Amino acid sequence: MNEEIKTGLLVISRHTESEWNLLGKWTGLNDVNLTDKGQKEAEQIGEILKDVQFDVVYTSEQKRTHQTLAGILKGSVHPDVPHHIHGAVNERDYGDLTGKNKWEVQEEIGEEAFKGIRRGWDYPVPGGETLKDVFARVVPFFDTEILPQLKEGKNILLVAHGNSIRALIKHLEDIHEDQIADVEMSFGHVLLYRISADGAVQQKETRKIDIIPPKA
């Protein structure tokens, strides 16, 4: 009789709507709270994860991921689990662009440069990080801290940011840098990767909530 192969589950959620997301500002490492809408959506994410029991959770240093985690655990009615905070999965540092309105910057610099900053692999940002820089800190952390636990069959929840998640997706799915501009981690989407004992991705599932429309 074949023994069942033990696999771990990596669940990845982006933080929900923050105060600066609502205002269209580049947030980066600035520490802002979730909106009321974001709090409710975090609980909705928890509701679609009720069938998963987590062994450990990881968040960035930014409090919007901590608040999202609290909502997820509340919505999923899961007991508290070991929570580790690590700067390696922090959002991208947007440097001189931090606090500026994205759409006003788009008007100033044009569509091509704007897309390069938002989605490019190694497009420079004054005083900030490229996605390549983010990849260089996220992946070693994942490989040394999280992957060994997944190989042991643990279920791990990571609550992070659009760019730190995009960097990790590139690594997990072996996406070429020329295609990374097409990869986005949308609000309300949750990725579930089944990881085998040898560290390979066996299966990917996407779940999502209905995003609450903004008030008129």
> CA dist 32 to 71, 81, 88, Å?
16, 24, 18
**Does the CA dihedral 140-121-91-208 come out positive or negative?**
negative
Answer yes or no: 61 catalytic. no
Q: Is the dihedral of CA 20, 96, 170, 84 positive or negative?
A: negative
Provide φ and ψ at 59, rounded to 5°.
Answer: -135, 170
Compute the half-sphere exposure of residue 158: CA atoms within 13 Å on the CB side of its CA. Answer: 29
d(CA 162, CA 8): 23
Tokens of 147: 């992957």
Please check whether residue 46 is in contact with residue 76, taking contact to mean a CB–CB distance below 8 angstroms. Answer: yes
15, 43, 129, 161: the active-site residue:
15
182 close to 188: Cβ distance less than 8 angstroms: no
Least Cα distance to 24 among 99, 111, 93, 102 occurs for 102
Per the annotation, the verdict on 15 as an active-site residue is: yes
Beta strands 189-195; 201-208: pairing state: antiparallel
17, 43, 91, 129: the catalytic one is: 91
Dist CA 152 CA 157 (whole Å): 15
Catalytic residues: 15, 91
